[in-house]
Structure 1
Amino acid sequence: MGFGLVVRFTTHDAASARAFDGLAEEALKGIRTQEPGTLVYVNHSVPDEPNVRVFYELYADRAAFEEHERQPHVQRFLSERAQHLASFEVTFLDEISGKGTPDRQAEQ
């Protein structure tokens, strides 16, 4: 079963939001090329909340998430993001059912 999380970030202001997006994009370069267990990793903006970003992350399993957390590009993101943030909230997710996840591909 997949393992996921949703993270809601609130940046200080528009300049912080732009800097945060740049930092996230740098991390995504490594995520795209070096993390086969990271299935989905998306930075979303929120309409009418210009300083809010929501990440949706889906991993093959908990071990893939833990491997993601150990990567240098992720460690850099985690250490640098605080300067841009007023707050953040993490919600971990365990899959019940769905479409498009690895265990569900055969069902589609």
Structure 2
Amino acid sequence: MAFAVVAQYRCDPADADTVRDALVRMRALVPSEPANLAYEVHAEVDRPGSFVLYERYTDRAGFEAHRETDHFAELILGTVLPLLTERTVTFARTLDDAGGQNSLPQQ
């Protein structure tokens, strides 16, 4: 069962280039993580300073390992998060073959 993360980031348009550059650097680094299945970064159309990230990992533990990397500390915690004015993060998991929902640990 894959574990997905959809993050929406918003910053002041004056900070958009800095945030964009950090996210592009992350996009180059994250695929080398063993549990990463996808890491996509998007800029919202007609909304300067707004970004959408879509990430997939083999499981929740893989995502947690991602959060412990040096590049996450430097680029997300050190560069991106301090510049955000708004942030939402949604966690999701793949439905099982029967269409039911597998249990997901509470955060």
Tell me the TM-score range normalised by the shorter chain: 0.7 to 0.9
Q: Residue 37 of structure 1 corresponds to which residue in structure 2?
A: 35
Q: Residue 6 of structure 1 corresponds to which residue in structure 2?
A: 6
**By how many angstroms is 1:31 displaced?**
1.2
**By how many angstroms is 1:97 displaced?**
6.1
User: CA 1:25/1:8 → structure 2, altered by over 3 Å: closer, same or farther?
Assistant: same
Contact 2:7 2:52 in 1 (8 A): yes
Name the TM-score, length of structure 1 as normaliser: 0.79
**By how many angstroms is 1:46 displaced?**
1.3
Higher helix share: 1
CA distance, structure 2, for counterparts of residue 32 and residue 97 of structure 1: 25
1:50 aligns to 2:23 (yes or no): no
Q: Residue 27 of structure 1 corresponds to which residue in structure 2?
A: 26
Question: One-letter code of the match for 2:8?
Answer: R
Aligned length: 96
CA distance, structure 2, for counterparts of residue 51 and residue 72 of structure 1: 25
Q: Superposition pairs for residues 67-78 of structure 1, below 5 Å?
A: 67-77=65-75, 78=77
Percent identity, aligned pairs only, is 29
CA distance, structure 1, for counterparts of residue 51 and residue 96 of structure 2: 26
Q: Residue 102 of structure 2 corresponds to which residue in structure 1?
A: none
Q: Which runs of 5+ in 2 are unaligned?
A: 98-107
Contact 2:31 2:38 in 1 (8 A): no
Question: One-letter code of the match for 1:25?
Answer: V
Deviations 1:13-64 (A, max 9, x none): 1x3111101111222332133x021111111111121221000011011111
Contact 2:27 2:41 in 1 (8 A): no
